Chain A
Amino acid sequence: MFELNANLKQTFEETAKAMRLRLQQKPSVDALRFMVVDRGIGSFRMCQKLDCRGLSSIAQKGRIVGVDGSTNNAGGPFPYSFTLQQALAKVCSSKEEDVVITDAISPLTMKDAITEEEYRDFIKRNLAELEVKAALEALDKFNPRVVLLDGSLVRYKIESAPMWETLKNRALAQDAVLVGVVEGISTNIISSCLEDALELGGFPASDWEILFGLLQVGEILEIVPGLFKEGFRTFFMRSSLDPKPIGIDLLEEQQEYLAEVSNLIFTLTPQDGRGIPLWLDIIDKNVRITDAVMEGLLNTYLGEDYAEFLKPKRERRQM
């Protein structure tokens, strides 16, 4: 057994106490909701699960596409690393082929020498770019009505600006609604508006903290225009029994579809799940590059001797 020394134990206890205190200081749900409305941060609204008719009317306008990406690293310490990336756009249909774009990268094969930091940044941007490419191709191929992207739309704008512009323009032209679905909310829109009213033990509150338990199942909090990043609209939704809501981004130009999109997402989300539309979950499972695949690829193309050479000591220890 791990012996807790007295010091450590004390720290744990104090932390727990502080957390409890902080939560106690958090205003009640009613109070928070009042503040949100009172200060003009946003408005609450209930979504509806779509019935067959509702779904058919969306389906008539076009298909539903989901986009997600995945990265896996293998190999040894920098620069012996080998990165495999994959983006998948999957249309909600049983007949069509998916759009899959893969890319393999290694610092050793790059034109210019690169630092570890730069490499990390590069693969981050590269993945965003692959995802945008996949979405673009899906626009061409499937003529969708709604494109669900896994993660905030803002991220694409930041990490893959030129491609993002192309995607956005194409989507607007085709009247395809781009939707970013964010599982872990990391914004501070509400909290920064309530800064003065919330004094939670010296630390500013963050959005997820305020939103926890604030919404009823199927309820959304629509943030007023202008508070979120320029060019986008955002809203939060408790899409399942899970008290942590998800965030949903739209293009400002497409904000008129907010109700349609929120109803659709609520409909496609399992009540007992973690709040993500099942379609995105399915895509997540499909796009994921497993360690077994990586290892297989390395062994096949690098040779087992090199693979062995690159394997971290830690892994070998277990054998």
Chain B
Amino acid sequence: MQMQVVGLTTPQEVYVASKDRKFRINELLVLEDPYQGNLIGEVVESNSYNRFIPLSIGSSIHDADVLESLKHLGYSISEDEINIAKVKLITEASFPVVTGSSVRLPAFDEVRGHLLKGVREDGLLLGEIKNTEETAATMEDDLKGLCEMFSGGKLYKTKNVPFFLDLRSFQQYPHIGVFGGSGSGKSFGLRVIMEEIMKHGFPALMLDPHYEMEFSESQESSEEKRDFKDNFRKFQIGEHIGVEFLNLSRGDLLALLSAVSPLTEAMSSAIESLHLRGDTYLSFSNRLELLSEALEMGRLRIEQALKQDMEPMEREKYIKMRQLLEEYQNIPLPSVQGIAWRLRRLHNSGLFSHDIKPVKEAMMQGKLAVIQGPIWLLQVFSTYLLSNIYRKRRDYKDGELKGEASGDYFPPFIIATDEAHNFAPKGRDAATKGIITEIAQEGRKYGVFLILATQRPTLLDETVTAQLNTKIIFRTVRASDIGTISEETDIKAEEARRLPYLPSGDAFVSSPLFGRTVAIRVRFPHTRSPHTQNPLDEIQLHRESSEDKLFEAIKPHLPIYAANFARAVEEINRHAGANYEVRTLKAALDTLVEKGKLTRKASPLGDIYQATDI
């Protein structure tokens, strides 16, 4: 296997050619420059082409005949293939690389610094770095086979270099974004991240609108059985935890009530005057009930009632009603009724019967607290919860800074959530937006870190997005989201183009720590979500349905000639409104061949893909 620098070079970029080795995107290569010594580069584009196919101008079918004839005479044109890689240097050269320099795969030690950051003990083992098998073979043994991978229906120990996210570096680069379309592997990714955080005993809090973050059942198929029963606690809002009404600020209360159903302006101003400092749920709801009764009766009837004989308790009630009526005479009855209804609904959810002590306790013990609830309730509740624990941590830290060792200890922690665009939406308000923005901007100082996952990065508040230092990007199909991702990360155009076709579980990690985008595959989680009874079945189902869709889109355009991919892609895209590209179409076709949906016939002009006759 011989690889060589060819063509025009610059200090940043070179082309490398090989006759017998196909290059893989994101793999690292060593360029042996005779003057500058060994330089490390990363493959950013990989092409294979036949030197002679460009000869076949015009109707390729006739040429196919000629090539077929040559094949009968013993010459297969595919042997004249050349593989070319565009390679970006990751160690900057001071002048252009010498053309003709030989190129080889690196030994692990040569690229260790580019693949592993920080010490292993502090790392979150997220999975493997793609296309590093050869390099991984020269790793020290205790880095080999560290995690289990699941792909192509098989579970196996990784053969690649492991990918660690350095927990220690969170101090510098505190926040993580996890982006990816539906089914791209976000939930699996989040699960793996949380498992790793639990392994480190780092306190964390997770908002779980999907009720899927359960860590007590280990994967059946997995060899290394491992669960996290003792490392996490699950709380349902209203069931196990809630808010102490007494501690609610006016803002909290407004947010809570409006989360049930939006408040009118009249209601909001009514709450302003009705909610008093020191109110408990009982005192506040009593006030509302009495006022509403009073408004219904009217002043005259209350006065009349008071003139009659009655129990002292009863009398007291009427006096109170008269008093309220005087005090709040401008508040319309419907407003009061509306507020009361909302409050009752919150109460019935159990929200006011519990507090957040259990969450704090779990976190103090270095556990993961998973908070579950419907998204509306999760929103308001987490506003309250996050503000509360963030304040606790901040007060402690500020106190420590001022030299006042007074405050209660509260540890640093991580907040993770899926559907983050609901919690900090762009261009509209949400109860949680304020606190999340605040943590995004200042959390670093206090050791409070965010992991925000979303299907729609475009809908996430820009201020928050800008603070996400590390981004883990799974398959993304929507053009607007790809646009946002390209803007917000150092992802290269070539990688952005691959985003729509990443298999579930594959991701690009864009991190200032690496200074480049790293292509990874997330490891198989140790535990499974309660939804997925048998992950094997689910994976197969999932894959089949996406294959069916693809097959339907392609069917009208069969047979497809490899030499004519460009036209086929154009047609398929036009008809199906899809966004395929030549290279990815080929991969997709090959998958369909594997599944037996298509047959691939070799021809000297390249392959011909036909529908499989049944």
Contacts and interface: CB of A to CB of B under 8 A. Distances in A.
Of B62, B65, B66, most buried by chain A (CB within 10 Å of CB) is B66
B72 interface: yes
B75 interface: yes
A32 interface: no
Interface stretch (B53-61, B280-288, B303-311, B574-582): B53-61
B67 interface: yes
Interface in A38-77: 49-50, 52, 55-56, 58-59, 63-64
Contact of B66 (A52, A59, A63, A270): A270
A165 B239 CA distance: 103
A92 B59 contact: no
Nearest to B76: A94
Nearest to A49: B65
Interface in B56-86: 56-59, 62-63, 65-67, 69-70, 72-76, 79-80
Contact of A52 (B52, B58, B72, B79): B72
A315 interface: no
B51 interface: yes
Interface string A265-285: 001111111000011011001
Contact of B72 (A49, A59, A269, A273): A59
Contacts of A94: 74-76, 79
Contact of B59 (A271, A278, A279): A271
Contact of B69 (A55, A93, A271, A285): A55
Contacts of A271: 59, 62-63
Contacts of A91: 74
Contact of A58 (B58, B73, B76): B73
A281 B54 CA distance: 11
A279 to B, nearest CB: 7
B76 A64 contact: no
A254 to B, nearest CB: 19
A98 to B, nearest CB: 11
B65 A272 contact: no
A281 B56 CA distance: 11
Interface in A264-319: 267-273, 278-279, 281-282, 285
Contacts of A282: 52, 55, 80
Contacts, number: 65
A279 B604 CA distance: 14
A272 B58 contact: yes
A281 to B, nearest CB: 6
A286 to B, nearest CB: 8
B73 to A, nearest CB: 5
A238 to B, nearest CB: 15
Contact of A285 (B51, B70, B74, B76): B51
A267 B52 contact: no
A279 B70 contact: yes
Contacts of B70: 92, 268, 278-279
Contacts of A285: 51-52, 55
B602 to A, nearest CB: 14
Of B69, B72, B74, B76, most buried by chain A (CB within 10 Å of CB) is B69
A55 B67 contact: no
Contacts of B67: 278
Of B67, B74, B79, most buried by chain A (CB within 10 Å of CB) is B74
Contacts of A58: 73
A92 B58 contact: no
B107 to A, nearest CB: 31
Nearest to A279: B70
Contacts of B75: 92-94, 279
A50 B55 contact: no
A52 B51 CA distance: 25
A269 B63 contact: no
B58 A63 contact: no
Contact of A267 (B66, B76, B79): B66
Contacts of B73: 55, 58-59, 63-64, 92-93
A50 B68 CA distance: 11
A63 B69 contact: no
Nearest to B67: A278
Interface in B403-425: none
A136 to B, nearest CB: 21
A58 B51 CA distance: 27
Contacts of B62: 270-272
Contacts of A273: 55, 57, 63
B63 A278 contact: yes
A52 B80 CA distance: 22
Given A55-B69, A268-B69, A285-B51, A92 B74 contact: yes
Interface in A131-147: none
Contacts of B59: 271-272
A175 B17 CA distance: 41
A274 to B, nearest CB: 10
Contacts of A63: 73-74
Contacts of B63: 270-273, 278
Given A92-B73, A94-B75, A285-B51, A269 B57 contact: no
A285 B69 CA distance: 20
Interface in B61-120: 62-63, 65-67, 69-70, 72-76, 79-80
Contacts of A272: 57-59, 62-63
B74 A281 contact: no
Contacts of A269: 66
Nearest to B63: A270
A278 B72 contact: no
Contacts of A64: 73-74
A64 B73 CA distance: 7
A285 B52 CA distance: 8
A273 B66 CA distance: 11
Contacts of A55: 69, 72-73
A270 B56 contact: yes
A268 B79 CA distance: 18
A278 B79 contact: no
A281 B58 contact: no
Contacts of A52: 72
Contacts of A56: 72
Contacts of B65: 49
A93 B74 contact: yes
Nearest to A292: B7
B79 to A, nearest CB: 4
B54 to A, nearest CB: 9
A91 B57 CA distance: 24
Given A64-B73, A281-B52, 15 more contacts: A55-B69, A55-B72, A58-B73, A59-B72, A92-B73, A92-B74, A92-B75, A94-B76, A270-B63, A271-B62, A273-B55, A278-B52, A278-B66, A282-B80, A285-B55
For the complex of A and B, the 10 pairs showing the least CB-CB separation, nearest first, are: A272-B58, A271-B62, A94-B79, A55-B72, A93-B74, A92-B75, A92-B73, A270-B63, A94-B76, A278-B66
Interface of A: 49-50, 52, 55-56, 58-59, 63-64, 91-94, 267-273, 278-279, 281-282, 285
Interface of B: 51-52, 55-59, 62-63, 65-67, 69-70, 72-76, 79-80
18 contacts: A49-B65, A55-B73, A58-B73, A59-B74, A94-B74, A267-B69, A268-B66, A268-B69, A270-B62, A270-B66, A272-B57, A272-B59, A272-B62, A278-B52, A278-B63, A279-B75, A281-B52, A282-B52
